[in-house]
Amino acid sequence: MNKPRDIPELYLNRELGQLAFHRRVLAQAESRAAPLLERLRFLCIVSSNLDEFFEIRVSGLKAEIEAGSPVIGPDRTDARLAFNQVAKEVHELVATQYQLLNQEILPGLVNEGIRFLRRPDFTPAQTEWVKAYFSREVMPVLTPIGLDPAHPFPRVLNKSLNFALELEGKDAFGRNSGIAIVQAPRVLPRVIRLPREISKAEYDFVFLSSILDVYVAELFPGMKVMNCYQFRVTRNSELFVDEEEVKDLRAALRGELPHRQFGDEVRLEVAENCSQQITDFLLAQFNLGQDDFYRVDGPVNLARLINVPDLVERSALKFPLYRPGLPAQFERPGDMFGAIREGDILLHHPFQSFQPVIAFLEQAARDPAVVAIKMTVYRTGAESELMEILLGAARSGKEVTVVLELLARFDEEANINWAQRLEEAGAHVVYGVVGIKTHCKMLMVVRREEERLRRYVHLSTGNYHPRTTKIYTDFGLFTANEELGVDVNDIFIQLTGLGRATKLKHLWESPFTLHKQILRAVQNEVQNAQNGKKGRIIAKMNALLEPEIIATLYEASKAGVEIELLVRGVCALKPGIPGVSENIRVRSIVGRFLEHTRVFYFHNDGAEDVYLSSADWMDRNFFRRVEICVPVLDPKLKKRVINEGLKPYLEDNCQAWEMDKDGRYSLRSRRGKPQAAQEVLLEALARAPQPV
C-alpha cells in the first residue's frame, strides 16, 4: 500500500494554491462591507502580488519547461500543464480586477468626490496646468527612441511604464520608422493630484499616462503621433550567485543586482486600446506568446495606485484609526532591563506597539553597562530607526554584531547598503552561511550586572521592520531566561564562527532539528491518540508545502488526532478526505492585516506545548534556512498566545476561508454573532486614537 508521501493526488499544486490566495485577497476588494479606499488598496495589493508571482513562480515554471522537466512538486504536475492552468487562472483574475475597478471602485470614488481625469474631462484651466506640468516636470526626463537600424528596440526595464507610439511623417534626417518607444522614468509619480483651485471635485487626480497621452507629440516635432499605447513587461527576477565559486558574497550580489531589471521576459501587459499591429510587434520583441499576454482596461501599472488612499484625507473611506497598545510592564518609561528580568514579556503586533523593541535597543545603545549587541536582519527597509540605533551604538564603541542576510529577495540592495554603513561604523557584519539564508529573528543584548554578564533576548515571528509591524500580525518575546539566552548565543556563534552545531536546550533550529522536532511532536500526538488519549494539533503559518510533514499529518488524522491548520497562503494539504484527512480542517484568514504569525500548538497529554517560530512548514524553511522555533515557557504567556494567536482565528466567522477536499476555498458560513479575529484583537489590545 502506498504511503501518503507517494500519492500525488493527495497534494495540491503550489502555483495554483498561491493564485487561490490572491483570489482571497481580491475578495477583500470586492467586499462592499470594506471602506472604499481600502478596497482600492486591496486591488493594488493583488497587482503587486501578481507581479512577484510572475517574477518568481511563473519564471520558474518557464525554466522547468525549457529544461524539459517532466513533472514538478509532490503533486507531480507536468510543468507545461501547470503553466497552462496558471495562465487561464490569471487571465480570469486580472479580468475581474479591472472589471471591479471600472464598474465599482472608480464610480464609487467619483460619488465621494475623488476623480481620476482623462483628456476629455479636462477643463481649460486643467488643460493649461497639465501642459505646464508636462513641460516642467515630465518632458525634461523623457528619452524618446525612434526605431531604426541605428536605434534598435530599447532594453525595457522590469515592470516599468512604457509607451509605444505609431508615427507618421519624416524627421529632420528624413527617417520614418513609424514606431517609437518612450519609457516613463521611475522618478515620476504615476498619479498626480491637481491643485484644489482648478478642481471641480474635492480630489481630482490625473494619471501620468493620461498626461503623456496628451502631450507626447511634443517629443516628435514635425511628425504626427497617430496613437499612443501603454505597455509593461515583467521579467524573471531571480538572482543567480554561484555559491560554490563566490568569494565575496556582497560584491557578487552587487554585480548581479542590475541584471534583475533585464531578466527573461515572462509577461506583457498592454492597454485595452493597443492595436493588433503593435501588440504583435511587442510580443515578437519580447519572444512571448498569447498565454503571456494581458490586455487590460485601465492603467497597466495598477500597483502604483496603492498610494492614493494615503493622499486622500477621508477617514470614513478607510479603516478606523487605532493606537497600538502596550503591555502593562511598558506602560510607563523606565528600566526595560528590570522589567524583563521580572518575567518574560509578550508583544502582539500590530495590535500592540513595536515601539518597545525600538526603545529596548535605544536603551541598550546608551547604557554603559551594555557590552555587546547582536542582531539578525532579514528585512528592515531602506530607512530603519533600528539600524540607525545600531550604527550609533557601534560608533560609541560597543561591540555590535549584525548577521545580515544579503539574499533577502527584493531587499538585497537595501541590505547591501546597510552592511556597508555598519562596517564603516565599526560593527561586525556577517552574511550568515552561503547557500542557507538566515531567516530567524533574534536580538541579544549582553549587559554587565553585579560582576556577571546577563543576556537579554528578543525573539520574533516577524522582521525587524518598523513599517511592516504596523500591517503584519506577529509575536515578539522579550526574555532574560538564562537557558534561552545560552541557546540564542550558541546560534549566533554558529552564524559568525565555525564549528559543529551544538545541542540546544529549548530552541528548535533549522536546518538541524526543526523538521525532526515537528515530526516528533506530531508523532507524539499520534501515539497519545492510539493510547486512547486526546490528540490535538493547531498550527498557524503562512504556507504548508513540505511533503513529509503533510504525509505525517495525514497519518495523524487517520490515528484520530484533531488537526486545525490556519494557513494564510498556499497549502498543499487536502483536508476532509475520507480515510485520509477527515480530522483535518484548513482555514485561511484574510483581513485588514497580513496574517504572519507562526504558532504551533501540541496538546501533549494536557501539557499544551506552544511554540513561536520564524519558519513556515516549507522545504526551504526546514532545509535551506536558519530558522528558530521558541517554546513559550511562561504559563500566563502561553495562555495569551492560545487566546490571542489561535482561538479567535478558529472562531472567526467573518474573514475565515475554509478549504474543501478538492482544494477549493469558500467563506465560512456565518452563524451566530459575527466574529472577526482581527477586530476582536484590536478591541482587546489596542486603544482608540486620542483626539487631536
The residues annotated as belonging to the active site are 439
**What whole-number distance in Å separates Cα of residue 180 and Cα of residue 198?**
33
Report CA dihedral (88, 91, 96, 99) to the nearest 10 degrees: -140
List CB contacts of 168: < 8 A, sequence separation 6 or more. 178, 223, 224, 226
Query: Is 95 in a helix, a strand, or coil?
Result: helix
Which class for 498: exposed (0-12), middle (13-18), buried (19 or more C-beta within 10 A)?
A: exposed
Contact 681, 351 (CB under 8 A): yes
Contact 478, 484 (CB under 8 A): no
Closest CA to 568 of 616, 602, 521, 630: 616
Instruction: Tell whether omega for the bond before 350 is within 30 degrees of 0, i.e. cis.
Output: yes
**What whole-number distance in Å separates Cα of residue 90 and Cα of residue 668?**
24
Closest CA to 364 of 396, 331, 326, 329: 396
Q: Which residues of 134-152 are buried (b: 16+ CB within 10 A; e: fewer)?
A: beeebeeebebbbbeeeee
Neighbouring-strand partners of residue 448: 453
- Largest Cα separation within the chain, whole Å, is 90
Closest CA to 77 of 28, 16, 122: 16
Cα 616–chain centre separation = 14
Question: Looking at the chain, how many residues does it have?
Answer: 692
Contact 239, 256 (CB under 8 A): yes
Contact 458, 612 (CB under 8 A): no
